[in-house]
Chains A and B, each alone.
Chain A
Amino acid sequence: MVRRRAVLLIALVFMPAASPAWGQAAPPAEHEDSAFDVMNVLARRGLHDLGDESWNLYGQFTYISSWKLPFQAPYTNPGYSLSTSLERSFTGSFTLFFGARLWRGAELYVVPEVISEQPLSGLHGIGGAIQNFELQKTGSTTPQLYRSRTMLRQTIPLGGASVSEDSDPMQLGATLTRRRLVVTAGNFTILDVFDRNGVTGDPRQTFLNMAFMTYAAWDFPSDARGYSWGGTVEMYWDDWAVRYGRITPPQHPNQLEIDFRLWRYYGDQVELEHRHQLGGAPGAIRLLGYRNRVESGSFDEAVAAFDADASRNAAACQAANLFNYGSTNALAPDLCWVRRPHIKLGIGIDLEQSLGAGFGAFFRGMYSDGRTEVVAYNPADRSIALGVLGKGARWRRPFDLVGAGFGMSWISAAHARYLGLGGVDGFIGDGAIRQAPEGIAEIFYSFNVARAIWLSADFQHLWNPAFNADRGPVEIVGTRVHAEF
Chain B
Amino acid sequence: MPSSRALALVAGLVALTAPAAAAAQQAAQGFALERLTPAPPGAGWFMLDNLDMRGPLGGALAVTGSFAAEPLRVGADGQRLSVVSREAFVEFAAAASYGRWRAWLALDAPLVLAGDDGSAGGYAYTAPHVNLGNRPDVLFDPRLGVEARLIGDASAPFRFGLSAELIVPNGSRADDVSDGTFRGIARALAAGQRGWLEYAADLGTHLRWRDQPAPGGPRGSELLFGIAAGARIDPARAPTLHVVVGPEVFGETAWRSAFAWDTTGLEAMLTGRIQWTTPARRVGAKLGAGGGIDPNFGAPAWRVALSLDVEGP
User: What is A's interface to B at a CB cutoff of 8 Å?
Assistant: 42, 47-49, 54-57, 96, 98, 100-103, 108, 110, 112, 144-148, 150, 187, 223, 225, 227, 229, 251, 256-260
Contact partners of A56 in chain B: CB under 8 A: 59
Interface membership of chain B positions 123-145, coded 1 if the CB is closer than 8 angstroms to chain A and 0 otherwise: 00000000011101111001000
Kindly supply a per-residue 1/0 record for chain B positions 253-288, scoring 1 wherever the CB is within 8 Å of any chain A CB and 0 otherwise: 000000000000000000000000000110100000
Contacts A49-B313, A227-B137 given: A42-B57 contact, CB under 8 Å?
A: yes
B61 touches A147 (CB 8 A): no
A45 to chain B, nearest CB (A): 9
8 Å CB contact of A112 from B57, B59, B142, B281: B142
Given contacts A48-B57, A48-B313, A227-B137, contact A260 B132 (CB under 8 A): yes
Q: How far is the CA of A48 from the CA of B138 in the complex (A)?
A: 32
Q: How far is the CA of A256 from the CA of B130 in the complex (A)?
A: 13
When chains A and B are docked, how far (Å) is the Cα of A463 from the Cα of B92? 45
Inter-subunit contact A101/B281 (CB<8 Å): yes
A to B CB contacts below 8 Å, 29 in the list? A47-B56, A48-B57, A49-B313, A54-B59, A54-B311, A55-B94, A55-B310, A56-B59, A57-B96, A98-B61, A98-B92, A98-B94, A100-B94, A101-B281, A101-B310, A101-B312, A102-B283, A110-B107, A112-B107, A144-B170, A145-B170, A147-B107, A147-B137, A148-B137, A150-B109, A223-B137, A259-B133, A260-B132, A260-B133
Interface string of B293-313 (1 = CB under 8 A from A): 000000000000000101111
- CB contacts (< 8 Å) of B133 on chain A: these are 251, 257-260
Contact partner of A110 (CB less than 8 A), chosen from B59, B61, B168, B281, is B61
Contacting B94 at CB < 8 Å: which of A42, A57, A103?
A: A57
Report B91 CB to chain A, min CB distance, Å.
10
State which of A47, A96, A103, A229 has its C-beta within 8 Å of the C-beta of B136. Answer: A229
The answer to whether A256 and B61 touch across the interface, beta carbons within 8 angstroms, is no
Q: How far is the CA of A384 from the CA of B305 in the complex (A)?
A: 50
Residue of A nearest to B57 (CB): A47
Contact with A along B230-256 (1 / 0, CB 8 A): 000000000000000000000000000
Write the residues of chain B forming the contact surface with A, with a CB cutoff of 8 angstroms: 56-57, 59-61, 63, 92, 94, 96, 105, 107, 109, 132-134, 136-139, 142, 168, 170, 280-281, 283, 308, 310-313
Specify which chain B residues have a CB less than 8 angstroms from the CB of A251 in the assembled complex: 133
Nearest Cβ distance between residue A319 and chain B, in whole angstroms? 23
Please give, as numbers and ranges, the residues of chain A lying within 8 Å of B281 by CB-CB distance.
54, 101
Interface contact A145-B142, CB-CB below 8 Å: yes
Q: Whole-angstrom distance from the CB of A5 to the nearest CB of chain B? A: 42
Is A256 touching B59 in the complex (CB atoms < 8 A)? Answer: no
CB-contact partner of A103 in B107, B137, B283, under 8 A: B283
Q: Which residue of A lies closest to B137 (CB)?
A: A146
Residues of A within 8 A of B310 (CB): 54-55, 100-102
The interface residues of chain B lying within 8 Å CB-to-CB of A227 are: 136-137
- What is the CB-to-nearest-CB distance from B55 to chain A, in angstroms, rounded to a whole number? 11
Most buried by A among B59, B61, B137: B137
| A43 CB to nearest B CB, Å | 11
A187:B137 contact, CB within 8 angstroms: yes
A-B complex: 3 closest residue pairs judged by Cβ atoms? A54-B312, A100-B61, A55-B59
User: Of A48, A54, A259, which is in contact with the most chain B CB atoms at under 10 Å from its CB?
Assistant: A54
Please state if A110 and B94 are interface contacts (CB–CB under 8 Å). yes
CB closest chain-B residue, reference A228:
B136
Residues of B within 8 A of A256 (CB): 136-137
What chain A residues lie within 8 Å of B59 (beta carbons)?
A: 54-57, 100
Q: Report B-chain residues with C-beta under 8 Å of the C-beta of A259.
A: 133
Closest to B41 in A: A100
**Which residue of chain A lies nearest to B141 when distances are taken between CB atoms in the complex?**
A145
For the A-B complex with A54-B59, A54-B310, A145-B142 known, give 5 more contacts whose Cβ atoms are closer than 8 Å: A49-B313, A55-B61, A103-B283, A112-B142, A229-B136
Minimum CB–CB distance from A195 to chain B (whole Å) comes to 22
Known: A47-B57, A55-B59, A102-B283. A150 touches B92 (CB 8 A): yes
Q: How far is the CA of A365 from the CA of B187 in the complex (A)?
A: 58
Query: Taking each of B56, B59, B132, B136, which has the highest tally of chain A beta carbons within 10 Å of its own beta carbon?
Result: B136
Task: For the complex, give the distance between the alpha carbons of A57 and B94 in Å.
Answer: 9
What residues of chain A lie closer than 8 Å to B311, measured between beta carbons? 54
Q: How far is the CB of A50 from chain B (nearest CB, A)?
A: 12
- Taken together as a complex, chains A and B put the C-alpha atoms of A221 and B109 apart, in Å, by 22
Given A55-B312, A258-B136, A147 contacting B109 (CB threshold 8 A): yes
CA distance A414 to B61 in the complex (A): 51
| Known pairs A54-B280, A101-B281, A150-B92; A187 contacts B136 (CB<8 A) | yes
Task: Let me know if A146 and B312 touch, CB within 8 A.
Answer: no
Measured in the bound complex, the distance between the Cα atoms of B63 and A112 in whole Å is 14
How far, in whole Å, are A67 and B134 apart by their CA atoms in the complex?
A: 34
Cross-chain contact A112 with B139 (CB below 8 angstroms): yes
Cross-chain contact A257 with B313 (CB below 8 angstroms): no
Complex Cα–Cα for A150 and B91 (A) = 11
Q: Whole-angstrom distance between the alpha carbons of A341 and B312 in the complex?
A: 48
Smallest CB separation, A52 vs chain B (Å): 8
Structural contact, A145 and B312, CB atoms closer than 8 A:
no
Contact B134 A257 (CB under 8 A): yes
B98 → chain A closest CB, angstroms: 9
Tell me which residues across on chain B come within 8 A of A150, comparing CB atoms.
Answer: 92, 109
| B139 lies within 8 A of A145 (CB) | yes
Give the distance in Å from the alpha carbon of A96 to the alpha carbon of B142 in the complex. Answer: 13
- B283 nearest CB across to chain A (Å): 7
Bound-complex Cα distance A396 to B139 (A):
44
Rounded to whole Å, the gap between the CB of B166 and the closest CB of chain A is 14
Measured in the bound complex, the distance between the Cα atoms of B231 and A373 in whole Å is 61
Q: Which residues of A have CB within 8 Å of B63?
A: 108
Contacts of A48 in B (CB 8 A): 57, 313
Taking the closest CB of chain A, its distance from the CB of B245, in whole angstroms, is 23
Q: Is the CB–CB distance between B139 and A146 below 8 Å?
A: yes
Q: Which residues of A contact B92 (CB under 8 A)?
A: 98, 110, 112, 147, 150
Chain B residues with CB under 8 Å of A260's CB are 132-133
B136 and A108 contact, CB distance less than 8 A: no
Within the complex, what minimum Cβ distance (angstroms) separates B263 from chain A?
30
Bound Cα distance A56, B60 (Å): 10
Q: How far is B107's CA from A150's CA once the two chains are assembled, in angstroms?
A: 12
A residues within 8 A CB of B136? 187, 223, 227, 229, 256-258
Which chain B residue shows the least CB distance to A114? B170
Chain B residue numbers with a CB within 8 Å of A147 are 92, 107, 109, 137-139
User: In the assembled complex, which residues on chain B have CB atoms less than 8 Å from the CB atom of A54?
Assistant: 59, 280-281, 310-313
CA–CA, A57 and B142, complex, Å: 17
Q: Which residue of A lies closest to B63 (CB)?
A: A108
Residues of B near A110 (CB, < 8 A) are 61, 92, 94, 107
Contact check, A108 vs B313: say whether CB atoms are below 8 A apart.
Answer: no
Distance in Å from the Cβ of A424 to the closest Cβ of chain B? 24
A96 to B61, CA, bound (A): 13
Closest to A53 in B: B312
Instruction: Tell me whether B132 and A258 are in contact (CB under 8 A).
Output: yes
Contacts of A148 in B (CB 8 A): 137
